[in-house]
Structure 1
């Protein structure tokens, strides 16, 4: 069964985007996999973190995409943070930039996902 981490809110401090979660037990002991995939059914990006046994899926829902866009444009560090644990998400900006470029105009992701990504990330 997939282990999914939900983000409750974000903060932006000193050029770093913090993704806050209360699911500390799921991110403790993980390392950044440096990869982002798309979940077109849930209209989300998914950053992969891993522990010794499996991947843990860090869901980046549409509600936080404006903050992700800001991090992308400012080439910011991105960190997932819980009460006592934090993890820098390696290659976040590069991966997000690549995925957004791949989704643009690409019906393989579904028309609604393409529309949502283009509306947030490609609007000037």
Structure 2
């Protein structure tokens, strides 16, 4: 079973947004993959990371969607903050944008999830 780490805290640092991982993890244990997928059942976007030769997920639930929108609208660079530093979330912005465009109006993701995404990211879709 893969580990799923929930992001529920963040901090803005200049032109960056640091999503805080509250687990005891070291940078040396983690590596970006540049891939984002959807967990429509739990209404979350999952960033895939390599963790000690296995894959784990960083889960961005609807709790932090306002910050994801802010990141997209302002051009902030996303980072994962762990115990001993920060790691850039490679390709996160491009992957998230692609998913958002694919989800809009697409009932394959489930009507409830699509409605939640369209509402939370309405400003993004208007741009």
Instruction: Tell me, yes or no, whether TM beats 0.5.
Output: yes
Moved segments of 4+, more than 3 Å: none
Distance 1:31 1:52 in 2: 9
Are positions 1:97 and 2:120 aligned together? no
Shift, 1:111, TM fit: 0.3
Moved more, 58-67 or 82-91: 82-91
**1:1-124 matches, cutoff 5 A:** 1-25=1-25, 28-123=28-123
Q: CA deviation at 1:83?
A: 2.6
Q: Deviations over 1:51-82 (max 9, x none)?
A: 35211100001010010011111222101112
Aligned length: 124
> What RMSD in Å do the two structures reach over aligned CA positions?
1.6
Q: Which segments of 5 or more consecutive residues in structure 1 lack a partner in the other structure?
A: none
Shift of 1:25: 2.5
Deviation digits for residues 97-122 of structure 1 (CA, Å, limit 9, x no counterpart): 00000000000100011001000112
User: Structure 1 length normalisation: TM-score?
Assistant: 0.92
Q: CA deviation at 1:27?
A: 6.0
Identify unmatched segments of 5+ residues in structure 2.
none
Q: In the aligned structure 2, how far is the partner of 1:26 from the partner of 1:122? A: 36
